[in-house]
Amino acid sequence: MASNLPRELIFVIAEHLNRDGGSLLPYALVCRSWQPVFESFIFSTVTVHSGERDGTKAREQKGFSLEDFKRATSGQNSRRRAWIREVRYDIIVPYELLDWSNTKWDESYTVDNPVRKANDEAFQAAMTELFTTVLSSWDQTHRLSLHIGLLGCKQGFELEPGTSRYEDAGDYRFDFTDGRTEALPPYRARLSDFDALSIVPCVDKLTFINSRHRFKEPFLFYEEKDDYEDEYDPEQDPRPRNRWHQIWAGTVFQIAERCRTITELHLNLDEYVRPDHLEYIQERRAAVAEGVRHLPSSLRVFNYLGYKEEPWKETMSALNVLNAGVDTLAGSLRGLTYVLRELRLTYVTISLDFLCPLNPEGQPTANCTSHWPNLQVLTLHRSPPFTPQGKWLALPDTEEQQIIDEVSDWETEICNTERGFISRPVLDAEQIHRLSISWGLAARHMPQIAVMEYHMTHGSSKTDFEVRMGDEITLRWKSRSTYVPDQRVAKAWGFDLKDMTSHKPLSYSVVLPSRPAGTE
């Protein structure tokens, strides 16, 4: 009788059972007419693991082994490729090397050790197998989302040479003195042979996300978990099982470069690094800047979540995150925006005039004649209150500056839990002028732009700048400090200062009669 049901009714049954969350496999075995309907749900989102974990046989783990996945989607089973929308690839590496879990006790410790090398070798093999052996044979008509992350096999038992397990290693995030010598550099998987990865034409979206920040569908903004050390419940969390993808920033872009028809890249690098590990911070930023330059021209959405990269205390100078004195990330992102539809940056320190570079007087360094034919959305959310060169945008008032000037021992300042906290209530208005001018000049060459947003995160100097271009074209500035657009800003956007409306508290807006002059 079941075999005689109309296909439409079978689909409704499958859809209902799928919402209930139970296994659909038994229903796929009812009869031949049920199999393709239920398999279309079963295979829509699949978890694939590259090997065995914790001694468990691969077939006993949730999802497919890579070999089983290949068999299930090859030959006469190739029809299943059309059903697959998302692949969650768990790369099983020999050792679980989570951040802030171990301590360094031997001065001869080096990151160039057998444990990290073994993980990198497993990572290289797993990526090569997926791209070269499996996905390279899929054609461009099969579009899927690919999420990649690491899972350690030996969890907490095997240690790097010269290290030991330490349950309070997380304290090194704020323990200045002991952390200087005992904190371990984070492990991030890297490819040793980039050329071994075949080009894959089927990947539409590529995601490297951490469970602390989850991309909310349809990847428009982020949800931040309040507790950094919250327990992860795989039964309650529909996301992949790896809490942290643990893949080096440069390697992420190497993988993306092999996905020649990719349209979306979603990347979490919300990884806390001690401020005195500045070389690592600079190297990571440089890797992102270089990687962005090589992204395929098919990309339309880049969603990048970084980290605050702030100094130990607010009385201190901000970090200079540039390793060569030049903000190469700004130039790389500007080049990328020419093909993008959406650029969303969160917790990313960036030169605010990156779209249209300005000289110190706030004038364009050259004619801003670039063209952004596709760009519709540009957002800088939770933008840190400092420049990449280490200049604060939130400045101290006279009383706070006196507190800073009286600091004679910065190590004592860092270690004293009651010192070093100031509000910095004065906004460096010139930097917001530069942002507004640059965006105004660039907007003239953005025929599709609909949303531009800048939100600087700092309590007393929190500042927002929003542009909405729809039936009504509205610019709005809002700041907890005092900010008023100047004549240069008005000229860049094509309005008169007297046309602005003042709102309480500390907010200004203006409605433009048309898009900025020069919009193509």
Q: Which residues contact 476 (CB under 8 A, 6 or more apart)?
A: 464, 465, 466, 467, 507, 508, 509
List, as one string, the DSSP characters of 108-141: T--SSSHHHHHHHHHHHHHHHIIIIIIGGGS-TT
Q: How far is CA 305 from CA 49, 213, 250, 328, 413, in A?
A: 26, 9, 15, 18, 30
**Per-residue pLDDT reduced to its tens digit, 367-377:** 677 889 999 99
Global pTM reads 0.89
Based on C-alpha coordinates, what's the Rg of the chain? Answer: 26
CA 220 – CA 168 distance, rounded (Å): 36
CA 297 – CA 55 distance, rounded (Å): 42
CA 103 – CA 155 distance, rounded (Å): 16
What integer pLDDT is reported at residue 53 of this predicted model? Answer: 64
CA 340 – CA 301 distance, rounded (Å): 6
The CA angle 20-26-30, to the nearest 5 degrees, is 120
What integer pLDDT is reported at residue 158 of this predicted model? Answer: 64
Mean pLDDT by 10 residues, the chain (520 residues): 62 61 61 64 82 57 84 87 91 92 90 96 98 94 94 75 87 88 93 95 95 44 38 40 85 98 97 94 97 98 95 97 92 96 97 95 82 96 96 96 96 93 95 97 95 92 94 94 94 96 91 78
Q: Which helix (H) or strand (E) holds 398?
A: helix 398-405
Residues paired with residue 352 on neighbouring β-strands, in sequence order? none
What integer pLDDT is reported at residue 279 of this predicted model? Answer: 95
